[in-house]
Every structure is written in C-alpha cells, then in structure tokens.
Chain A
C-alpha cells in the first residue's frame, strides 16, 4: 500500500506549482508533486566550453527546435524537443511553443521582469468595452503581490502611476546614466513616462521555484516529488463526479502508474495544463476550455547609437542601465487605430554592437564596429494581445508524443490591433530616440510569431459565470471543486506585463483558499 495518503497532487514544479507546494505544505497539508522532466544538477549537466568545440560551432543544430528562437547550440538541451512532444498548427498560423520540462520548469530561465497587473487589465472591459473583466481586481490581489515581491526581492522604484502599480520593493534609487536621462527628458516632453524597470533579484542570483519556493515546502517534510513522470490523464470518480486519480507514465522506463488524491492542482504551464484537461475530457461544461489563448507581442523595436559614446568615449556615467515605459496609450486619450496598449523595454549597453545594425561589410564594417562599440541603446515592445474566442487550442487526434499522448493543435493569429500597436510602438521609440539625439540604426515593425514571448495565457479563464468560464475566481474548476489550475491558464486578459508575478500571486491566493476549504472540510 502507499505509505500515506496524498492530500494534494500537484502537477508541475515551476513558479505556480512551487508556490502551491509552499503554501499548502506550510499549512500542514501533505503534497505529492509530479514533474515531466529530470532534476537538474548544474555541476554535472553544464560545462564552460568554447563555441568552436561544439559540433556546429555554436550554430543551432540544423532542423532542431525551429520554433524556439531563444535556443542555441549551448542551451539546446534545456528545451522540450519538438519531435519528442510535437504540436501542430495550420501553416498559415505559426505558433512558437517554447517549453522547459526540467524540474523547476521555466522558472529556471525567466528574464526576471516583475510587474503587477493594474485595474486597466483586471477591469479592461469596464474601461473600454472590449472583452471581459476579471472576477477580481487589483485590490483583491495586492496583498498577495506584496508577499510574492518580498520572496522574490523585486527591485523597483515607486512611480505613482495607476497603470504601473507600485509594490513592495527593494528600493532602486540608482541615478539614471547620462543617455537614459536624455531619454527620460525626451519622454517628459512627449508625455511618455519613462520609469525604472522592475525585476526580481532573487537570492544568490537565482529567482526560481527551485531556490525560493520548493526548499520551504521540502523543509516541512510534507512534500514528496517524483521527477520524470508524464501525466496522461486525470480521471473522475463515477460516484462523486470529482477528480480522483491521475495516470502517468515513467518518462524513461515507460512504466504506467497511477495515484489517487483528494485534490488535484494543475500547474503544468498554460498549454500543458489545458492539453491534459482536454485529453482527460473533464472540467469543460462551459465549452470555453482551450479558447481565449493570449500572449504578448514581442520582436518589434529599434536599435540606436548614442553619438557621444562612440570612438572609445563611452563611460559608465553616460552608458548603461535599463528603463521601462509602461502602457501610456488609451489611458486618458484614445489611440487612432488600436485599443489597449504596450510597454517598451529600454536598455543601453557598453558592449559590442551587433554587426546587423550596419549595411556594410569587410574593412568598412570593422571600422563601424570599432567606432560604435559601447554606444548601443535600444527599445523593444511588450504589447497586449487581445483575448479572442477564436484563438484556441484543441487536441490533434492524429499526432501523439513520445508516450502516445495526443498532441495539441494551436490555432491563433494576430490581427490589425496587434500590428497597429507594434507600428505605433516603433514609431514612438524612434521619435523619442531622435529627440534624445540618438542615431537610429535599425528598426523592426514585425512582431515575432505568437508564442515567442513565452507568456501564453488563458485557455481556462476564470469568471463568475460557469457558462462562460472554466475556473472561478479562486482558480477552482466550476465543475469539480477539488480541481484547481494555478498557472497562467486562468488569465482573462494578458496586459503588457510579464505575467510571472501575477501567476505567483494568483497561485498563492488560490492555494490559501484551498487550504482553508480543506480545513473546513468543504473540499
């Protein structure tokens, strides 16, 4: 017999699964965590190597990971292999599904940008009439954001802008570098707020589930974790109608197993959680499961040079640093050809210039690279993608993964609202950079394919009405009270914000609610 009963089974070990495990175990609830991939041992699994010693000289292995633009020959083995876990799409609607199955998931490799959603996101429909409001507001989530920000040590500066809600920060009171100050001043003249960026400092350089959340959970003695098991199905009990048993396969041995649990918490990442629910045929009485897939627009932006920093004249006082322009469109005024808005990530660098910024070759290019070294300044979009019913995922019955589990078919595309927004972002960045006296070298108006941001959200959206939403405001299934989905699937809208802080705060809130309900005997 199993040595003890599983109170809560958590599927996934990233930010959301880690948070669920921490909260639940600290409240005395025993948890079992399943993760589809192995535990990383950085000492054993990595080595410093020169590019020339790799089989493809640092080029991506041909034909490998074509949808993971972030991959290269150094890190190729950290991503989910697209042949091992395939997905499909219509060739007219490409989608980049970027996945990590190592223990800790994508919390191992994220870019640390740490933002709160504002009521321009939670209550977007009330503001402009589009889409749906969330069943919660910033006030509901704010206390949880504060606690998450403390754990992740979010560095930032209060700005007092309603669309860029302040938080519980490690104060960033560093001065702007010279070039950033010029950009801030240009923004002020144009009515565009240029603010301090916000990012998780973490501990020891890492801000991951594996060092900030899971150790607390393991320390309670209440968490067990099994790596290398791929869940194929959640089955409901015929008598109670509740989720009761999870079936999984050992990734390496192919041995089939199952485990029963009182409560099941899905934290496998938006699209894997939804794929599992769709394959299990549960929790979808509303019919909206898989719909309203959203992400964020990335890829459009500009690269400039700060003339005063050229020819060896760059100093740390002039160059370096980051800034963030939070959404400023459609707050007090109305943009002419799109709704909602975008943020711009702004950076400057003291390093080498990318040669692609010069239409030159040979000796001429070398001279440019030397002259422009240390003068780089750039800005890139993070834009809101509208939630639409027709952007959806479903099960592709004709394709299975390495363990015979039916694959996901993804059907989503951007529309004029996204393209117009990207165009406005680039034009705005160009005009601010030129006003600051920078030379614009390159610009790109075309967003990367959907999915590239690795911010896939929605597909099990939350709401008060069980007919139009999959989860309630506690990330709890409307259909099965002992089924929770605590990753990004519950999002009603995406905003422009990197979603990590919001996923963590929602997972924390949802897990505390679950613990309370379990103690009351309601679940």
Chain B
C-alpha cells in the first residue's frame, strides 16, 4: 500500500515537472504554432540564472525565490530576441523554424559551455527544501512538493492571464483568427511578441525548478525538450487544460510502468501509448475550434 502511494506521489511529481517544462511550449507551439527546439535552452538559461543568483546571494532560499522571477525575465528576453530576429520571419514555414531553432539551441548550448564551462555546476537546495514532508504514510520530498505547487501556480497564473486580461483576450483572438483580429485593430505583431515572451519566460521558471532535481549543465534542456513536446502534442494543440491532463497522465503512466518494469521499458511504453493514442485521436485530448477559414 505504501508503495502505491509513493508511486502516486512520484507520478504526480513527474507530471508537475513535465507540466512546467511544457507549459511555455503549449503557448508558443500550441497557440502560435512555432516549433521552438530552443525551448529547452531557455530552461537551461533559467537554471543558470538560479546558479548565478546563488553566487550573489548567500542564502539559498532567498536566492531560489529571487531566481524564479529573474529566470522568467531572462528566459522571456531570450525568447523575445529570438522571436524578433528570426522566428517572426518564418511563421508560415514550420519546417524551417524547426531547423533554425535547433541551430539556435546548439549555439546556446555551446555558449553556455564557453561561459560557465563544460562541467555541471551545483545549485544548492535551501535547507527547507531538502528532506521530506510526511503526509499520512507517504514521505513527499519537499523539493518535489515545491515544484508541484510552482507548477499549479504557473497554470493558474497563465489561465487567469488568458481568461481575464485584455492581453489574454488578444492572444486568444489572434490564435482563433489572425486576420479577423487584425481587422479589428489588434496588433498581431506585438501580441505574438508578448506571447512568445511569456512562453519562453515559463521555460525559464521551469529551468529554475529542475535545478532542485537534476544536474545544471549545458545540455539540461535536451533532457526535457522531447517530453515537453510529447505533452503538448498529446494534450492537444492550443489548450492549457490539455497540457495539464497530458502531463499528469504521462507522469502517472511513466511512474506506474517504471515501478512494474524498468525505467527504459517504461519510457518506451509511454511513447507507444502516446503514438497509439494519437492514431485514435490525432488532434490530442482537446482541440481548439477556430473560426479561420484556412
């Protein structure tokens, strides 16, 4: 019974990590249709931000909390620069975007190697995040609890932004019908830029969060990018709630399979499940019905 609860926690926790990594992508890929292979490198930038902040502020706890908004800003700004210089030139050429952003990802990885050195760096977890919290019979590692809370906060924040603010309405308007949005006076250019900024910023936050779990190195992003795309594709293009369900679903699946088999088999099984699912439902769990004619 303990094992069951432990695995439930492991699955939810893995889901929250996947969700954080995929949330920004569900905006830029899901809503804007940009295949951004450098999304993982924005995570890496967030992770190195956490490392840098820790170098400046001795208290690991304050440094971490400060790194979250800073990671958002750094990731967002890098995304903004990428959007302005490259991506906006190829909104209708998804294949080119894929190659270009992959190139950018390689350049960013090498840049990180040149700036911070090839070896991994250590981001210390604050004292209040090492160890675990006991909930009933299950001991939940505090760091994982923190990431779960952070992921939920990010989802709630993003949903509120999309549903209640005028920026959110503009974003949804542009996604549903770009031409019509333009005719009613929405600047699609600035909306695109802002959406990309937010999506990339979320990657930065994810990067800060995963320093609590794994290594901080130049290739950090590559560990997450495939899973993040998997979540967005399975969840359905253009839907936050799809990403949420897909992330937790895949997390629980992976944890369950991994407990009964091995990590490698679990990974393969999850891929197979997603492929089969997409055969039955190519549009993912949810889909946006747009009013555009195209």
A and B interact: no
